[in-house]
């Protein structure tokens, strides 16, 4: 047999081998490639999530119904009614962040570091301008990692809180100006989970010339003060000491 023929046979066999491998690998990996399979899986997951959500909502409805019933049956006993209302008010206050919270948590200190500023990248000024955005992201990550209460330089983070950079030298938290040179964030909640959630942030702040110090407090002594910044109401007016 001629060399030319041998080479052609070898090459064609190699192409066939390659085609066979591609076919086998494609046939054995249908999950990632198949739209139908992926859609079914997605639908199954979504259905499970919706079922879970429905169960949760049903339990919430049941709890609220029983609460209404309790309030309805207690209308004769005014003292009991007041007690129930006070309990509810306390729950609402805790959710709104107007109560002091104490427990295990973390203290994060982000402050300017001369060495990092000196060795930082050329675009550092640009990064420093987005300090507020990253701080907001950090707070969001803390919330997402089971933080129950968060405070930034003693300004309690609540549902209507805001964090933003005015410029490189001015930061605003809850519409109050603070210095971005040193920011201390305290959060009460699941320490381990919050620690995991913070793993990415040191690098971001180092690019801004800021050191990131993470300290865990596990003796239950961390205190988060209540929200005491001004609240701007559009329609409601404060009642003062007037008794209802």
Partner 1 sequence: MIWIPVIGLVLGVFIGLSFNLSVPLQYSSYLSIAVLAALDTVFGGIRASLEKHFDSSVFISGFFFNTLLAALLAFIGVQLGVDLYLAAVFAFGVRLFNNIATIRRLMVTRSRKQGEKTL
Sequence-ordered list of residues with C-beta below 8 angstroms from that of 26, at least 6 positions apart, any chain: 33
Q: How far is CA 24 from the centre of its chain?
A: 43
Contact range with partner 1 by CB under 8 A, out of 15-23, 56-64, 91-99, 235-243? 15-23
**Per-residue interface string for the shown chain with partner 1, residues 168-207, x marking contact by CB under 8 A:** ----------------------------------------
The candidate with the shortest Cα–Cα distance to 159, out of 224, 95, 225, is 95
Please report which helix (H) or strand (E) contains residue 101, including its range: strand 101-112
Place of tokens 């009460």: 188
Size of interface with partner 1, in residues (CB under 8 A): 30
Instruction: Select the span of 1-9, 92-100, 186-194, 199-207 touching partner 1 (CB under 8 A).
Output: 1-9
Is residue 14 within a helix (H) or strand (E), and if so which, with residue range? helix 3-27
Contact mark string toward partner 1, 18..57, x via CB under 8 A: xxxxxx-xxx-xx--xxx----------------------
For the chain, helix, strand, coil in percent to 5 are 50, 25, 25
Q: Could you say whether residue 14 binds partner 1 (CB under 8 A)?
A: yes
Backbone angles phi, psi at 195, to 5 degrees: -60, -45
Give the nearest distance from C-beta 29 to partner 1 in angstroms. Answer: 6
Short-list 102, 69, 70, CA closest to 83: 70
The distance of closest approach from Cβ of residue 40 to partner 1 in the complex, given in angstroms and rounded to an integer, is: 14
Range in contact with partner 1 (rule: CB under 8 A) among 14-22, 132-140, 208-216, 225-233 = 14-22
Residues that bind partner 1 (CB under 8 A): 1-2, 4-23, 25-27, 29-30, 33-35
């Amino acid at each position: 047999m001629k060399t030319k023929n041998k080479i052609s046979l070898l090459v064609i066999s190699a192409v066939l081998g390659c085609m066979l491998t591609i076919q086998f690998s494609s046939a054995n990996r249908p999950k990632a490639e198949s739209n139908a399979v992926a859609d079914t899986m997605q639908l199954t997951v979504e259905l499970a999530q919706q079922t879970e959500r429905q169960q949760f909502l049903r339990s919430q409805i049941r709890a609220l119904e029983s609460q209404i019933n309790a309030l309805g049956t207690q209308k004769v006993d005014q003292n009991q009614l007041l007690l129930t209302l006070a309990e509810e008010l306390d729950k609402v206050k805790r959710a709104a962040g107007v109560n002091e919270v104490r427990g295990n948590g973390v203290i994060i200190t982000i402050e300017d570091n001369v060495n990092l500023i000196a060795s930082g990248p050329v675009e550092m000024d640009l990064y420093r301008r987005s300090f507020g955005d990253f701080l907001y992201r950090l707070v969001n990550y803390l919330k997402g990692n089971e933080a129950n209460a968060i405070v930034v330089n003693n300004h309690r983070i609540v549902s209507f809180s805001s964090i933003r950079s005015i410029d490189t030298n001015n930061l605003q938290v809850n519409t109050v100006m603070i210095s971005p040179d040193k920011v201390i964030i305290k959060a009460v909640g699941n320490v381990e989970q919050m620690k995991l959630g913070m793993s990415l942030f040191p690098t971001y702040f180092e690019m801004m010339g800021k050191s990131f110090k993470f300290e865990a407090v596990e003796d239950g002594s961390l205190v988060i003060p209540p929200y005491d910044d001004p609240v701007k109401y559009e329609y409601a007016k404060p009642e003062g000491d007037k008794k209802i």
